[in-house]
Chains A and B, each alone.
Chain A
Amino acid sequence: SYVLTQPPSVSVAPGQTARITCEGNDIGSKSVHWYQQKPGQAPVLVVYVDSDRPSGIPERFSGSKSGNTATLTISRVEAGDEADYYCQVWDRGSGHHVFGTGTKVTVL
Protein backbone atom coordinates (compact mmCIF):
# COMPACT_ATOMS: atom_id res chain seq x y z
CA SER A 1 0.00 0.00 0.00
CA TYR A 2 1.05 3.57 -0.64
CA VAL A 3 2.94 5.34 2.17
CA LEU A 4 3.50 9.02 2.87
CA THR A 5 6.27 9.83 5.35
CA GLN A 6 6.46 13.03 7.40
CA PRO A 7 8.86 14.06 10.17
CA PRO A 8 7.22 13.48 13.57
CA SER A 9 7.93 16.98 14.80
CA VAL A 10 9.12 20.41 13.76
CA SER A 11 9.98 23.20 16.19
CA VAL A 12 10.12 26.84 15.18
CA ALA A 13 10.41 30.21 16.88
CA PRO A 14 7.68 32.81 16.38
CA GLY A 15 8.24 34.85 13.25
CA GLN A 16 10.43 32.21 11.65
CA THR A 17 9.60 29.74 8.87
CA ALA A 18 8.45 26.15 9.36
CA ARG A 19 8.86 23.60 6.59
CA ILE A 20 7.06 20.26 6.76
CA THR A 21 8.00 17.58 4.26
CA CYS A 22 5.95 14.71 2.87
CA GLU A 23 7.73 11.93 1.00
CA GLY A 24 6.13 9.30 -1.17
CA ASN A 25 6.99 7.20 -4.15
CA ASP A 26 6.19 9.02 -7.39
CA ILE A 27 4.46 11.78 -5.43
CA GLY A 28 5.24 14.08 -8.34
CA SER A 29 2.46 12.42 -10.31
CA LYS A 30 -0.13 12.95 -7.57
CA SER A 31 -1.95 15.97 -6.22
CA VAL A 32 -0.95 16.66 -2.61
CA HIS A 33 -3.25 18.24 -0.05
CA TRP A 34 -2.48 19.49 3.47
CA TYR A 35 -4.57 19.67 6.64
CA GLN A 36 -4.09 21.37 9.98
CA GLN A 37 -5.54 19.73 13.09
CA LYS A 38 -5.60 21.31 16.52
CA PRO A 39 -6.25 19.21 19.65
CA GLY A 40 -9.84 18.02 19.95
CA GLN A 41 -10.82 19.51 16.61
CA ALA A 42 -11.52 18.25 13.11
CA PRO A 43 -8.86 18.72 10.43
CA VAL A 44 -8.95 21.89 8.34
CA LEU A 45 -7.77 22.06 4.73
CA VAL A 46 -4.91 24.56 4.37
CA VAL A 47 -3.47 23.71 0.93
CA TYR A 48 -4.97 21.71 -1.95
CA VAL A 49 -3.62 20.45 -5.25
CA ASP A 50 0.00 21.01 -4.23
CA SER A 51 -0.06 24.78 -3.81
CA ASP A 52 -3.56 26.28 -3.87
CA ARG A 53 -4.99 27.87 -0.75
CA PRO A 54 -8.67 27.77 0.30
CA SER A 55 -10.35 31.07 1.02
CA GLY A 56 -9.73 32.18 4.58
CA ILE A 57 -6.33 30.51 4.87
CA PRO A 58 -3.55 33.06 5.40
CA GLU A 59 -1.00 33.60 2.63
CA ARG A 60 1.63 32.51 5.16
CA PHE A 61 0.67 28.93 4.28
CA SER A 62 2.11 27.69 0.99
CA GLY A 63 2.74 24.37 -0.69
CA SER A 64 5.30 23.11 -3.17
CA LYS A 65 6.56 19.88 -4.66
CA SER A 66 9.89 18.69 -6.03
CA GLY A 67 10.92 15.17 -6.95
CA ASN A 68 9.50 12.71 -4.42
CA THR A 69 8.87 15.37 -1.78
CA ALA A 70 6.02 17.78 -1.14
CA THR A 71 6.52 20.63 1.32
CA LEU A 72 4.17 22.76 3.38
CA THR A 73 5.78 26.06 4.34
CA ILE A 74 4.46 28.27 7.10
CA SER A 75 6.02 31.73 7.00
CA ARG A 76 6.10 34.18 9.88
CA VAL A 77 4.93 31.47 12.28
CA GLU A 78 2.49 32.48 14.99
CA ALA A 79 1.56 30.76 18.24
CA GLY A 80 -1.81 29.86 16.73
CA ASP A 81 -0.10 27.73 14.07
CA GLU A 82 0.84 25.15 16.67
CA ALA A 83 -0.95 21.99 15.54
CA ASP A 84 -0.58 18.65 13.79
CA TYR A 85 -0.24 18.78 10.01
CA TYR A 86 -1.04 15.97 7.57
CA CYS A 87 -0.41 15.56 3.87
CA GLN A 88 -2.86 13.49 1.80
CA VAL A 89 -3.07 12.05 -1.71
CA TRP A 90 -5.39 9.89 -3.75
CA ASP A 91 -3.68 6.73 -4.96
CA ARG A 92 -5.17 6.10 -8.39
CA GLY A 93 -3.94 2.52 -8.54
CA SER A 94 -5.88 1.35 -5.49
CA GLY A 95 -8.61 3.99 -5.47
CA HIS A 96 -7.66 4.64 -1.87
CA HIS A 97 -6.90 7.92 -0.14
CA VAL A 98 -3.75 8.06 1.96
CA PHE A 99 -2.73 10.39 4.78
CA GLY A 100 0.83 11.09 5.80
CA THR A 101 2.13 10.06 9.20
CA GLY A 102 1.62 13.56 10.56
CA THR A 103 3.91 16.30 11.89
CA LYS A 104 3.50 18.12 15.18
CA VAL A 105 4.53 21.76 14.85
CA THR A 106 5.65 23.34 18.09
CA VAL A 107 6.07 27.09 18.37
CA LEU A 108 8.88 27.79 20.82
Chain B
Amino acid sequence: QVQLVESGGGVVQPGGSLRLSCAASGFNFNTSAMHWVRQAPGKGLEWVAFIRDDGGDKYSADSVKGRLTISRDNSKNTLDLQMNSLRVEDTAVYFCAKEVLRKGYFDLWGRGTLVTVSS
Protein backbone atom coordinates (compact mmCIF):
# COMPACT_ATOMS: atom_id res chain seq x y z
CA GLN B 1 0.00 0.00 0.00
CA VAL B 2 1.38 3.36 -1.05
CA GLN B 3 1.38 5.57 2.03
CA LEU B 4 3.15 7.92 4.37
CA VAL B 5 2.51 7.72 8.10
CA GLU B 6 3.75 10.42 10.48
CA SER B 7 4.37 9.94 14.18
CA GLY B 8 6.02 11.67 17.11
CA GLY B 9 3.75 14.64 17.64
CA GLY B 10 2.71 15.81 21.08
CA VAL B 11 2.78 18.65 23.57
CA VAL B 12 6.10 20.33 24.37
CA GLN B 13 7.08 23.44 26.28
CA PRO B 14 8.60 26.46 24.55
CA GLY B 15 12.33 25.91 24.11
CA GLY B 16 11.89 22.15 24.09
CA SER B 17 12.63 19.51 21.47
CA LEU B 18 10.68 16.89 19.57
CA ARG B 19 11.50 14.44 16.79
CA LEU B 20 8.94 13.60 14.14
CA SER B 21 9.13 10.56 11.90
CA CYS B 22 7.44 9.59 8.66
CA ALA B 23 7.32 5.95 7.56
CA ALA B 24 7.07 5.39 3.82
CA SER B 25 5.79 2.28 2.09
CA GLY B 26 4.64 1.08 -1.32
CA PHE B 27 6.99 3.16 -3.48
CA ASN B 28 10.70 3.64 -4.12
CA PHE B 29 11.55 5.85 -1.17
CA ASN B 30 15.26 6.00 -1.97
CA THR B 31 14.58 7.69 -5.34
CA SER B 32 12.07 10.21 -3.97
CA ALA B 33 12.73 13.72 -2.73
CA MET B 34 10.76 14.35 0.46
CA HIS B 35 9.35 17.35 2.28
CA TRP B 36 7.77 18.48 5.51
CA VAL B 37 4.82 20.88 5.28
CA ARG B 38 2.96 22.29 8.27
CA GLN B 39 -0.39 23.89 8.96
CA ALA B 40 -1.07 25.97 12.06
CA PRO B 41 -4.59 25.66 13.48
CA GLY B 42 -7.04 27.40 11.18
CA LYS B 43 -4.25 28.62 8.90
CA GLY B 44 -2.84 27.79 5.49
CA LEU B 45 -0.13 25.42 4.36
CA GLU B 46 3.50 26.35 4.99
CA TRP B 47 6.41 24.53 3.38
CA VAL B 48 9.02 23.64 6.01
CA ALA B 49 11.88 21.61 4.55
CA PHE B 50 13.14 19.50 1.65
CA ILE B 51 15.66 16.68 1.38
CA ARG B 52 16.97 15.15 -1.86
CA ASP B 53 16.55 11.45 -2.54
CA ASP B 54 20.10 10.63 -1.44
CA GLY B 55 20.07 13.10 1.47
CA GLY B 56 22.80 15.12 -0.16
CA ASP B 57 20.87 18.37 -0.51
CA LYS B 58 18.57 20.07 1.98
CA TYR B 59 16.63 23.32 2.13
CA SER B 60 14.48 24.77 4.89
CA ALA B 61 12.18 27.74 5.31
CA ASP B 62 13.68 30.84 6.87
CA SER B 63 11.20 30.59 9.76
CA VAL B 64 12.70 27.28 10.91
CA LYS B 65 16.31 27.50 9.73
CA GLY B 66 18.75 26.41 12.41
CA ARG B 67 16.00 24.95 14.61
CA LEU B 68 14.23 22.28 12.54
CA THR B 69 16.44 19.78 10.71
CA ILE B 70 15.29 17.28 8.10
CA SER B 71 16.98 13.91 7.64
CA ARG B 72 16.26 10.49 6.16
CA ASP B 73 17.27 6.86 6.46
CA ASN B 74 16.85 5.13 3.11
CA SER B 75 17.64 1.74 4.65
CA LYS B 76 14.57 2.08 6.87
CA ASN B 77 12.34 4.10 4.49
CA THR B 78 11.96 6.83 7.07
CA LEU B 79 11.99 10.63 7.02
CA ASP B 80 12.63 12.61 10.20
CA LEU B 81 12.29 16.16 11.44
CA GLN B 82 14.35 17.10 14.48
CA MET B 83 12.72 20.10 16.13
CA ASN B 84 14.76 22.13 18.63
CA SER B 85 14.23 25.46 20.39
CA LEU B 86 10.52 25.16 19.72
CA ARG B 87 8.32 28.25 19.78
CA VAL B 88 4.60 28.71 20.31
CA GLU B 89 4.33 29.62 16.62
CA ASP B 90 5.62 26.16 15.65
CA THR B 91 2.30 24.71 16.82
CA ALA B 92 0.84 22.97 13.77
CA VAL B 93 -0.05 19.74 12.07
CA TYR B 94 3.09 18.50 10.33
CA PHE B 95 2.67 16.58 7.08
CA CYS B 96 5.34 14.65 5.23
CA ALA B 97 4.98 14.73 1.46
CA LYS B 98 6.60 13.01 -1.50
CA GLU B 99 7.76 15.10 -4.45
CA VAL B 100 7.33 13.80 -7.96
CA LEU B 101 10.82 13.32 -9.35
CA ARG B 102 12.32 16.82 -9.77
CA LYS B 103 8.94 18.24 -10.81
CA GLY B 104 8.33 20.42 -7.75
CA TYR B 105 4.92 19.13 -6.72
CA PHE B 106 3.65 16.64 -4.15
CA ASP B 107 1.65 13.60 -5.17
CA LEU B 108 1.52 11.75 -1.85
CA TRP B 109 0.85 13.13 1.63
CA GLY B 110 0.62 11.63 5.07
CA ARG B 111 -2.29 12.38 7.38
CA GLY B 112 -0.15 14.56 9.60
CA THR B 113 0.88 14.67 13.25
CA LEU B 114 0.00 17.50 15.64
CA VAL B 115 2.71 19.39 17.49
CA THR B 116 1.56 21.72 20.25
CA VAL B 117 4.07 24.09 21.84
CA SER B 118 2.62 25.46 25.03
CA SER B 119 3.59 26.16 28.61
A residues adjacent to B (C-beta < 8 A): 1, 31, 33, 35, 37, 41-45, 48-49, 54, 84, 86, 88-90, 94-102
Interface of A is mostly: strand
Q: Which single member of A1, A54, A89 contacts B107 (CB below 8 Å)?
A: A54
Chain B interface size range: 20 to 34
Nearest-CB residue, chain B, relative to A101: B44
Can you list 12 A-B pairs, Cβ within 8 angstroms, ordered by A?
A31-B104, A35-B45, A42-B95, A42-B109, A42-B112, A43-B37, A44-B109, A48-B100, A54-B107, A90-B104, A97-B104, A101-B44
Chain A, Cβ-Cβ closest to B99 = A97
0/1 per residue, B5-38, Cβ < 8 Å to A?
0000000000000000000000000000001010
What's the Cα separation between A96 and B45 when bound, in Å?
A: 14
| A33-B35 Cα distance, complex, nearest whole Å | 16
B61 at interface by CB-CB < 8 Å: yes
User: Closest CB of chain A to B23's CB: distance in Å?
Assistant: 15
Give Cα distance in the complex from A98 to B35, angstroms: 12
B81: shortest Cβ distance to chain A, in Å?
A: 15
What is the CA–CA distance of A35 and B44 in the complex, to the nearest angstrom? 12
Contact of B46 with A by CB under 8 A:
yes
Name the CB-closest residue of B to A6.
B44
Are B112 and A89 in contact, CB atoms less than 8 angstroms apart?
no
Contacts of B107 in A (CB 8 A): 45, 48, 54
Taking the complex as formed, is B110 at the interface, i.e. its CB lies under 8 A from any CB of chain A? yes
When distances are taken between beta carbons in the complex, the residues of chain B under 8 Å from A42 are 95, 109-112
* A54 partner residues in chain B, CB cutoff 8 A: 107
Report yes or no: A99 in contact with B62, Cβ–Cβ below 8 A: no
Residue of B nearest to A42 (CB): B109
Q: How far is the CA of A95 from the CA of B111 in the complex (A)?
A: 25
